[in-house]
Amino acid sequence: MSTEANTAWPDENRFHFEILDLPPALVVKVTLLSHATFFVFGIPQDESGKPNQLWRDVGSDDHFFERDVSYSSLDLYPLNRGVSGNARFLATFHYSGCIGSSGVAYDAREWNPEGAGRLDQVIKQAGSFGMDYMDYKVPGFPQIGKLQTEGSLITLPYCWFSAIDTWDNPSLCAVDTYDLSGDDVRFRSRAYNRPDLVPIAKAIEYAQHRDYPAVLGYCASAQVARKLVRDVPPYVFADDLRLTPTGKGKEHVEFGLDHTYRFDVEMLAGRWLVVAFSTE
């Protein structure tokens, strides 16, 4: 129908669909123009106390109409079902504007047909991937992890924008691991590409919101946390980031115009923390 009605459109912009068969559910990927979404169909076991054999639209991409983007694509992956055998799948969205970095969103769902039926979101994670398609990689900040959807442990990689970015490409990246072996999907771990710089980015983020308890979680002392909350301005951009090792598990970091922001970070009790902060 779309081929006939939209003959003048490029083929990739016409209506297309794919079906992921996950008995007793069907996940339908739909693309039209430059956007993608999904719909889930299932048969609830009973309705009003009576057995049911009618297929229903039981859920969809909740945030499809909330994304103000020029382009979105979608990949669907079946996931490990766990002990109960309920159908699970992962929807991976990639989206972008007219120019600049691209975004990623992971949306994992589980269909439970018991009773009236329930489609639960079991994983939600969003991030960015920069402009790697143009080879705009950030020196010294390699991306970490790969998308892995098979088996009981899955990994979801992503990056995010922060105050230590030096241009329109996110520097910090992470990979999250989830355990799907049981009936409850559980977060297992998070690894970073630059764990030494994460506390600086996080401390600045929370300091800009004047959230002292959150800032303290990334600092070695209350004095440093209070200084960050007091002195960090609403907007911080790294511009030029310089890092100097000062000992085993110790680093001095400077960034900003004229190296305005100066941090010392140190590995303490197995994690990196901000031990000193000053502005010039």
Residue 105 pLDDT exceeds 70: yes
Question: How high is the pLDDT of residue 100?
Answer: 61
pLDDT, average across residues 174-198: 97
Please tell me which residue, 134 or 7, carries the higher pLDDT value.
7
Mind spelling out the 3-state secondary structure of the chain?
A: CHHHHCCCCCHHHCCEEEEEEECCEEEEEEEECCEEEEEEEECCCEECCEECCCCEEEEECCCHHHCCCCEEEEEEEECCCCCCCCEEEEEEEEEECCCCCEEEEEEEEEEECCCCCEEEEEEEEEEEEEEHHHCECCCCCCCCCCCECCCCEEEEEEEECCCCCCCCCCCEEEEEEEECCCCCCEEEEEEECCCCCHHHHHHHHHHHCCCHHHHHCCECCHHHHHHHHHHCCCCCCCCCCEEEEEECCEEEEEECHHHCEEEEEEEECCEEEEEEEEEC
Q: What percent of the chain has pLDDT over 70?
A: 92
Average pLDDT over residues 200-227: 98
pLDDT tens per residue, range 21-47: 999 999 999 998 888 999 999 998 876
Residue 111 pLDDT > 50: yes
pLDDT in tens, 138-170: 788 888 999 999 999 999 999 999 999 988 889
